[in-house]
């Protein structure tokens, strides 16, 4: 991808020039023998919200540190709005940064913390105060500028950090697990606020999380990382519904993996032999490897009557657990353990231990993937 994809005009509805394209070309980082990031190719388009999702140690923070300029890369090139930034110090990269371990200065007030970002960039004193106040206003802390970090809650401190990252109108935001220290409710609230802020400003965001729900909720595109490499990238629904490997399927939630033999592949669809579960038509995105399986999410497995079976088979119930909003049923079918999830409100007390059950799924909800493990 080249700089020509960047449009010079304003982003529709924002009045803001399209900027904030981040591009990594074959970027690697080695720490001695450790390959933390391995020939990464990644592009964030202006205004796009891209999330790096992966387990601990997969290279997410290292990637962010290199883009921010806190770490030097071993190989490759990093470009912002088409310009190489490899030799630029962090403050000249025009990126707003909120990292987990990039804390506020404890001896400065919230307002002074935000102003500091402008002082670093040589903004005249007279202008600084007003811009810092506006930035605090934008994150809902207009009245708390005088407080020290210790007089603010965790969520409020993260808002100050966000104001500090936004106050100098950066080209893009880099957010590395910014909500990891917050409890669930506050985290969900902040997720929505960050998303609203990002859309309103039309700013690009490179975001890091190891939490798949957070990635699903916030991203235009999810980039799944493992061992310093990208294993799959796409819009959240695409990655969730069409994982290419069993590892991606399992990392992004629960799934039923049924080993299979591929009988026929014709473009978007494949015919597979599921052993004890018979033959089935499934979605095919062209993943290729030695061993294959079919992935069916528990919420896509349905109780059926024998007459409408289609993709499906006889099953017997092992256990049912009410999880509040949903019920999780464990079943065995054709020698496989399966999980079926349904809304509690749909779960009639129809299931008796001795009852003959049928389960099935729609062909477009079953995905052919490569079995790695």
Ligand X SMILES: Nc1ncnc2c1ncn2[C@@H]1O[C@H](COP(=O)(O)OP(=O)(O)O)[C@@H](O)[C@H]1O
Give the binding site for ligand X (CB under 6 A). Answer: 31, 34, 36, 54, 56-62
Query: Closest residue to Mg ion, Cβ-based?
Result: 61
CB of 59 to Mg ion, least distance (A): 9
CB of 221 to ligand X, least distance (A): 18
To the nearest 10 degrees (0 to 180), the angle between helices 125-138 and 110-120 is 130
CB of 309 to ligand X, least distance (A): 44
Q: Which does residue 105 bind out of Mg ion, ligand X, none, counting CB within 5 to 8 angstroms by kind? A: none
Rank residues 165 and 371 by Cβ distance to Mg ion and give the closer one: 165
Tell me the backbone φ, ψ of residue 179, rounded to 5 degrees.
Answer: -110, 10
Rank residues 52 and 331 by Cβ distance to ligand X and give the closer one: 52
Tell me the backbone φ, ψ of residue 75, rounded to 5 degrees.
Answer: -155, 160
Helices (H), the chain: 60-68, 110-120, 125-138, 154-166, 184-201, 212-218, 236-241, 246-251
CB of 174 to ligand X, least distance (A): 13
- Of these, 58, 61, 109, 255, which contacts Mg ion (CB under 5 A)? 61
Rank residues 98 and 296 by Cβ distance to ligand X and give the closer one: 98
How many whole angstroms separate alpha carbon 115 and alpha carbon 1? 36
Span interacting with Mg ion, options 45-53, 60-68, 87-95, 114-122, rule CB under 5 A: 60-68
Rank residues 160 and 208 by Cβ distance to ligand X and give the closer one: 208
Q: Is 159:140 a contact under the CB 8 Å cutoff?
A: yes
Q: Is 64:206 a contact under the CB 8 Å cutoff?
A: yes
CB of 58 to ligand X, least distance (A): 4
How many whole angstroms separate alpha carbon 305 and alpha carbon 268? 28
Q: Which does residue 280 bind out of ligand X, Mg ion, none, counting CB within 5 to 8 angstroms by kind? A: none
How many whole angstroms separate alpha carbon 58 and alpha carbon 77? 20
Helices (H), 15-169: 60-68, 110-120, 125-138, 154-166
Q: Which does residue 58 bind out of Mg ion, ligand X, none, counting CB within 5 to 8 angstroms by kind? A: ligand X
191 binds Mg ion (CB under 5 A): no
List residues binding Mg ion (CB under 5 A). 61
């Amino acid at each position: 991808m080249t700089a020509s994809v960047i449009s010079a005009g304003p982003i529709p509805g924002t009045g803001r020039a399209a900027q904030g394209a981040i591009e990594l070309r074959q970027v690697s980082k080695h720490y001695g023998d450790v390959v933390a990031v391995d020939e990464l190719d990644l592009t964030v388009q202006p205004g796009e919200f891209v999330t790096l999702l992966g387990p601990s140690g997969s290279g997410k923070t290292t990637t962010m540190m290199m883009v921010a300029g806190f770490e030097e890369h071993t190989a490759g090139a990093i470009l912002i709005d088409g310009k190489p930034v490899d030799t630029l110090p962090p403050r000249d990269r025009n990126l707003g940064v909120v990292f987990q371990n990039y804390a506020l200065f404890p001896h400065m007030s919230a307002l002074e913390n935000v102003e500091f970002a402008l002082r670093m960039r040589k903004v005249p004193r007279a202008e600084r105060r007003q811009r810092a106040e506006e930035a605090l206003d934008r994150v809902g802390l207009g009245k708390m500028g005088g407080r020290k970090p210790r007089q603010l809650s965790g969520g409020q401190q993260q808002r100050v950090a966000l104001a500090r990252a936004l106050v100098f109108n950066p080209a893009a935001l880099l957010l590395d697990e910014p909500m990891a220290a917050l409890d669930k409710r506050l985290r969900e609230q902040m997720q929505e606020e960050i998303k609203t802020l990002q859309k309103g400003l039309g700013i690009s965001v490179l975001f890091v999380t190891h939490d798949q729900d957070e990635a699903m909720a916030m991203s235009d595109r999810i980039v799944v990382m493992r061992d310093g490499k990208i294993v799959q990238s796409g819009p959240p629904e695409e990655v969730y519904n069409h994982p290419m490997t069993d590892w991606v399927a399992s990392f992004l939630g629960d799934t039923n993996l049924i080993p299979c033999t591929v009988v026929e592949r014709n473009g978007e669809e494949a015919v597979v032999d599921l052993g004890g579960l018979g033959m089935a038509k499934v979605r095919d995105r062209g993943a290729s490897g030695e061993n294959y399986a079919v992935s069916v999410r528990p919420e896509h497995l349905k109780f059926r009557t024998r007459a409408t079976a289609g993709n499906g088979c006889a099953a017997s119930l092992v256990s049912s657990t009410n999880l509040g909003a949903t019920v999780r049923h464990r079943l065995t079918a054709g020698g496989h353990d399966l999980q079926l999830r349904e809304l509690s409100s749909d779960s009639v007390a129809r299931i008796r231990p001795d009852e003959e059950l049928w389960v099935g799924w729609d062909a477009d909800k079953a995905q052919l993937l490569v079995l790695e493990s």
